């Protein structure tokens, strides 16, 4: 994309009209203002796409295999480990990293911190896609994916934690779609439709907080159904939901820090002035917020151990592994966040965020798979399961990129033609 910018004065598409005042057609907008041939050639030249082709080349047959021959064809189909990578990573890992939407929504809309406005839409998009793909992972993992709506309409088990998760994720998905519709309306050149959404935006934001608090917590609470199976260090029946909620706060913030960095670095042509000029301060601001959350998380982790009086476990091998997870996934990000914010170093904050994201995923995999059945044998996922997980993540990446390139997420939509 970069290379076409200097050639074509109208690029990139960042408003309804070209510089000379003539409107962009729908196809132009989809093809980023390039001709189909140019579009294809830039697709083929991008090395990242080669990798994607490789992933899908193996992954798509695997998906077909999963739907035609059942889950046993692509996973070990373990009765002892009912939840594998699709849920361990796809649901329990993606959802906390998608808390960004409600966090930034709250900050900007509710607390009136307009200084975070330039990143609000990216945070919302990050949230929406994360949830959406958590559902995609679920569709691959569920035994009967065609019954996804059963808990809503056919047979209700309202006293189950998963019922809460199902309802909240579904409603919250709609809330997030509503919150992002303005971007779509601008792109479709229908600014008038925005007003309806603007009117209810406060309500949407509050709904977002409630739903997020509850289902982030509920994901943790799901594991309290297995008090005898998960290693006590990773399961605290009293605090599990707070642990999950609190780590989602810095998980969500870290994920926006990362994705905003990647976009500013690898798609700088797409970034608007406001976004680029404020990103430095915003990253530091997000880092500050994240550092508070990481600190709180560390404290409540320790409180949970004290509360259940599990100190002696720390001396076992499992305890060592636990301390390793805390050191890498929590303490190091905490130090880096604090240091980065104090010294005003965005790079440090970004490193902190990257490690924190890995730490969260690691924690969720530990709870769902590694420390699950700690008294039994260890389940190692089938390579096909791993590959499928990666394939779905690649799909997530493609959709993410597709939207960021087009909709006014990191730039402001120009209603008038730009002055050349």
Partner 1 sequence: MKTQTSRRTLLKKGLGSAAAAIFLRAKTARSHNIKRYPNSCGVLVDMTRCIGCRSCEAACNAEQKLPSPALPFDDRSLFAQGRHGSKRRTDENHFTVINRYDPPEIDHPLFRKIQCNHCQEPACLSSCFVNAYTKTPEGAVIYNPDVCVGCRTCMIACPFYIPAFRYSSALHPQIVKCQFCYETRLKNNLLPACVEACPQEALLFGKREKLIKIARHRIRNDRDRYVDHIYGEYEAGGTSWLYLSSVEFDQVGFDTTIPHEPILNSVKNFLAMVPMVLTIWPPLFAGFHLLAARRARAEKTRQENNREKADEDV
Contacts of 36 (CB under 8 A, 6+ apart): none
Among 67, 318, 321, 362, binds partner 1 (CB under 8 A): 67
Residue 109 CB, shortest distance to partner 1, in Å, is: 8
Contacts of 260 (CB under 8 A, 6+ apart): 119, 122, 279, 282, 283, 410
Q: Are 229 and 373 in contact (CB under 8 A)?
A: yes
Residue 237 CB, shortest distance to partner 1, in Å, is: 4
Contacts of 59 (CB under 8 A, 6+ apart): 387, 388, 390, 391, 392, 394
Nearer to partner 1, 88 or 287 (CB): 88
Residue 357 CB, shortest distance to partner 1, in Å, is: 25
Nearer to partner 1, 225 or 311 (CB): 225
Among 37, 68, 309, 317, binds partner 1 (CB under 8 A): 68
Mapped onto helix, strand or coil, the DSSP state of residue 64 is helix
Residue 29 CB, shortest distance to partner 1, in Å, is: 35
Residue 201 CB, shortest distance to partner 1, in Å, is: 11
Q: Which string of x and - marks every residue 206-245 that binds partner 1 (by CB under 8 A)?
A: x--xx--xx--xx-xxxxxxxxxx-------xx-xx----
Task: Copy the structure tokens of residue 204.
Answer: 């949407």
Site for partner 1 in 111-170 (CB under 8 A): 111-112, 142-145, 147-148, 150-164, 166-167
Q: Is 173 in the site for partner 1 (CB under 8 A)?
A: no
Q: Is 420 in the site for partner 1 (CB under 8 A)?
A: no
Residue 77 CB, shortest distance to partner 1, in Å, is: 3
Nearer to partner 1, 134 or 164 (CB): 164
Nearer to partner 1, 164 or 346 (CB): 164
Residue 164 CB, shortest distance to partner 1, in Å, is: 7
Cite the DSSP H helix spans in 223-272.
240-266
Site for partner 1 in 365-394 (CB under 8 A): 376-377
Smallest CA-to-CA distance from 337 within 249, 205, 400, 231 is with: 249
Q: What is the DSSP letter of 142?
A: S
Residue 207 CB, shortest distance to partner 1, in Å, is: 9
Q: Which range touches partner 1 (CB under 8 A), out of 20-28, 74-82, 190-198, 300-308?
A: 74-82
Nearer to partner 1, 79 or 416 (CB): 79
Nearer to partner 1, 67 or 269 (CB): 67
Answer left, alpha or beta for residue 77, where phi above 0 means left and psi between -120 and 50 means alpha: left
Site for partner 1 in 241-260 (CB under 8 A): 241
Nearer to partner 1, 72 or 302 (CB): 72
Q: Is 202 in the site for partner 1 (CB under 8 A)?
A: yes
Nearer to partner 1, 147 or 343 (CB): 147
Among 5, 14, 171, 276, binds partner 1 (CB under 8 A): 171
Smallest CA-to-CA distance from 259 within 378, 382, 403 is with: 403
Residue 228 CB, shortest distance to partner 1, in Å, is: 5
Nearer to partner 1, 244 or 413 (CB): 244
Q: What is the DSSP letter of 376?
A: S
Residue 255 CB, shortest distance to partner 1, in Å, is: 23
For residues 154 and 159, what is the distance between their CA atoms, to the nearest angstrom? 15
Task: Copy the structure tokens of residue 386.
Answer: 């791993």
Which CA distances in Å does 186 have to 108, 409, 413?
20, 11, 7
Nearer to partner 1, 157 or 191 (CB): 157
- The residue ranges that bind partner 1 (CB under 8 A) are 66-72, 75, 77, 79-80, 82-83, 106, 109-112, 142-145, 147-148, 150-164, 166-167, 171, 202, 205-206, 209-210, 213-214, 217-218, 220-229, 237-238, 240-241, 376-377
């Amino acid at each position: 994309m970069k290379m076409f910018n200097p050639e074509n004065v109208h690029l990139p598409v960042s408003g309804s009209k070209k510089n000379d005042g003539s409107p962009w057609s729908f196809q132009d907008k989809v093809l980023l203002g390039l001709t189909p041939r140019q579009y294809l050639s830039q697709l083929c030249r991008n090395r990242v796409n080669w990798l994607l082709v490789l992933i899908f080349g193996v992954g798509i047959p695997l998906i077909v295999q999963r739907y035609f021959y059942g889950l046993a064809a692509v996973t070990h189909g373990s009765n002892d480990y009912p939840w594998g990578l699709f849920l361990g990573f796809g649901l329990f890992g993606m959802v906390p990293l998608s808390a960004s939407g409600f966090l930034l929504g709250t900050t900007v809309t509710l607390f009136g911190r307009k200084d975070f406005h330039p990143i609000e839409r990216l945070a919302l998009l990050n949230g929406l896609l994360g949830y959406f793909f958590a559902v995609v992972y679920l569709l691959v993992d569920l035994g009967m994916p065609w019954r996804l709506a059963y808990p809503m309409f056919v047979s209700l088990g309202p006293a189950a934690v998963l019922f809460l998760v199902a309802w909240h994720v579904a409603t919250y998905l709609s809330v997030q779609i509503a919150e992002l519709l303005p971007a779509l309306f601008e792109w479709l050149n229908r600014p008038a439709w925005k007003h309806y959404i603007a009117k209810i935006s406060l309500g949407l934001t509050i709904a977002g907080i409630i739903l997020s608090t509850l289902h982030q917590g509920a994901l943790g609470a799901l594991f309290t159904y297995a008090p005898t199976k998960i290693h006590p260090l990773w399961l605290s029946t009293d605090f599990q939901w707070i642990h999950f909620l609190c780590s989602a706060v810095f998980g969500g913030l870290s994920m926006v820090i990362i994705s905003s960095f990647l976009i500013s670095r690898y798609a700088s042509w797409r970034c608007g002035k406001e976004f680029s000029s404020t990103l430095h301060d915003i990253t530091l601001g997000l880092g500050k917020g994240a550092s508070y959350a990481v600190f709180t998380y560390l404290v409540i982790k320790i409180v949970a151990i004290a509360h259940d009086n599990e100190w002696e476990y720390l001396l076992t091998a499992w305890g060592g592994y636990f301390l390793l997870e805390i050191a890498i996934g929590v303490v190091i990000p905490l130090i880096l966040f604090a240091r980065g914010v104090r010294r005003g170093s965005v790079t440090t904050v970004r490193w902190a965020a990257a490690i924190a994201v890995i730490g969260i995923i690691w924690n969720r995999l530990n709870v769902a798979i590694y420390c699950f059945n700690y008294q039994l044998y260890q389940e190692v996922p089938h390579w096909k399961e791993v590959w499928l997980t990666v394939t779905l993540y690649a799909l997530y990446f493609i959709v993410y990129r597709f939207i960021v390139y087009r909709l006014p997420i990191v730039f402001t939509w120009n209603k008038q033609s730009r002055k050349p």
